[in-house]
Homo-oligomer: A and B are copies of this chain.
């Protein structure tokens, strides 16, 4: 009884209450995979739970294309938890903050460069050499660069081993790259709605996200930081991201054919539109205010370039993975197709590495990896607990 009470008290003392302290990791200098130098690199990060003395209870969370490090919790004491994976991260949850130290960082060239809760380094950042924003002079970066900056962040906390690395979509690419590049550091890999390579289909889709920005005259070859940013193009790009990340079923079950304005029939007025178009435009416009157009272009190209291991062969890149792997995906995913996910599983499994693969249900398709992740709660818990 006393022992039990003591344990409970101890757990209670460590219990994470959902308030997140956003922190900043800085490097004087970082050299990209392409050999370019970025001085004064900064990325934001946050953590949930407590690092144990052995420093072996770490789960790294890597974020998706339009995401940030805010995977769980709230920034204000009196706010609501609004992390994207709140349903699985917290005390007693599968990613148990009483047990694990869960850390998440903003990537380089993070899309939400103008969100006050995001810290990132990219084209919108000041180039110390010139005192001006980098713009299109910013060095090219890859998913592997995102991983390398995360590795430096972890090393700054004397963390050398990951109990697990887990990410959705672009986050899955980072998680896969981690497991491929550092098989000795990664003990478990959880890939959600992602795959080992950006296939020709997704290459094409990503290209369509970049196009509206380049069409906007305000983009001005990326040189807009002293003037009007290309918000119209950025808005259209973000709208395409939202549309492509959802399945037709979601649109048909969520929206109807209502007009945006009661007296403006889009069949009778070339400038009239439908309510759902207005809704999607407004959502995209709000996100555009916090986002940076050049960052989106860099993100597109980093994602297009992804092949696990960044070497000559996808097979080798995935064969390098030794960590037991859990893959969650959607049969309705129109970004990372189920065929691509299955092929990735086969290639990781080819040399005997354990791979479990499980579909998520829902009408979102790709986005079910974010909004419906709690369906896999028990399997995630078991996978994280297995030796």
Determine whether A204 belongs to the interface, using a CB cutoff of 8 Å to chain B.
yes
Selected from B252, B270, B273, B307, the residue in CB contact (under 8 A) with A207 is: B273
0/1 per residue, A319-338, Cβ < 8 Å to B?
00000000000000010010
B205, A243: Cβ atoms under 8 Å? Answer: yes
Q: Separation in Å of the A265 CB from the closest CB of chain B? A: 8
A269, B207: Cβ atoms under 8 Å? Answer: no
Determine whether A240 belongs to the interface, using a CB cutoff of 8 Å to chain B.
yes
0/1 per residue, A166-207, Cβ < 8 Å to B?
000000000000000000000000000000011111011101
- Chain B residues, CB < 8 A from A201: 248, 251-252
Selected from B200, B249, B255, B266, the residue in CB contact (under 8 A) with A254 is: B200
Q: Separation in Å of the A384 CB from the closest CB of chain B? A: 32
Determine whether A216 belongs to the interface, using a CB cutoff of 8 Å to chain B.
yes
Selected from B203, B266, B277, the residue in CB contact (under 8 A) with A277 is: B203
A residues lining the B interface (CB < 8 Å): 34, 136, 140, 142, 197-201, 203-205, 207-208, 211-212, 215-217, 232-233, 236, 239-240, 243, 248-249, 251-252, 254-257, 265-270, 273-274, 276-277, 280, 297-298, 301-302, 304-305, 307, 334, 337, 339-340
10 CB contacts below 8 A, A to B, read: A140-B269, A142-B267, A200-B274, A204-B276, A207-B274, A207-B277, A208-B240, A266-B301, A270-B301, A334-B334
